Amino acid sequence: MKEEFYTDKRWQNWLSKVKDSNFTLKDSDDKNSGAVFVYIMDDVVLACLKVIARWERKVIPPSDALSELDNIRNIVFKEHDSLGEDADMMIDSLRTSLAAVFASCQRYISGDFDRESDMKKMVKNAVEAENRENIDEAFSILSSVGARVIGGESLPEDDVADLPYSMTVELLDGIDAISAAMIGDDSYKEDDGTEECSEEL
């Protein structure tokens, strides 16, 4: 049986949890109020890293790995009914962060990324590109950064922490989630995909 790395049912379960939370931005000072969005990010990132782990262990070929990443991305970006104005805004922000995750994973598998430039300089260049309204260039730079993080390099945390809020920061949030997942529980690397994944959240 073909392994399912992520399913629409799983994503819909998360959206239901967001709707049930009645999230509003005025409650955002409560550190627990937006926790569900962090859990969603981690869940999707782990699914993507599981795809990469299967590819690295030659359980699946690169073409299948890229196809699986596209499938996860399509699920995440599928249109849905409104969850409330503030919650919808948070989901949009989450999707921006996850766009960097998907692109980073795809570039890591394809091997098409900048392996040589200084990471701090790359982050700076991405910020400058966004300031010039060249979003495509910023995205390309940061997806290379993400691919290198997947390969084991570290984000320049101090430089990232000092950045003012921007789309670049949202994209870096996704890359930071990759980094955090990779130093957390790495059991996703070990199994061979024969166990069924639970849909219970």
The pLDDT of residue 197: 42
The pLDDT of residue 194: 42
Least-confidence region, from 27-36, 83-92, 163-172? 27-36
Which of 19-23, 135-139, 155-159 shows the highest mean pLDDT? Answer: 135-139
pLDDT, tens digit, 9 for 90 and up, residues 94-113: 999 999 999 999 999 999 99
The pLDDT of residue 196: 43
Residue 68 has which token pair? 């699986």
- For residues 75 and 31, the model is more confident at 75
Least-confidence region, from 48-52, 122-126, 145-149, 157-161? 157-161
Q: Is 144 helix (H, G, I), strand (E, B) or coil?
A: helix
Residue/partner pairs of 149-156 with CB below 8 Å, 24 or more apart: 149/104, 149/175, 149/178, 149/179, 149/182, 150/49, 150/52, 150/104, 150/105, 150/108, 150/178, 150/182, 151/108, 153/119, 154/119, 154/179, 155/119, 155/179, 156/119, 156/120, 156/123
Spell out the residues 6+ positions from residue 45 whose beta carbon is closer than 8 angstroms to its own.
98, 101, 174, 177, 178, 181
pLDDT, averaged across the chain: 89
Q: Please calculate the CA angle 101-104-110 and round it to the nearest 5 degrees.
A: 140
- Main-chain phi, psi angles of 100, to 5 degrees: -65, -35
Q: Please calculate the CA angle 73-140-55 and round it to the nearest 5 degrees.
A: 50
Task: Report, as an integer, the average pLDDT of 119-132.
Answer: 95
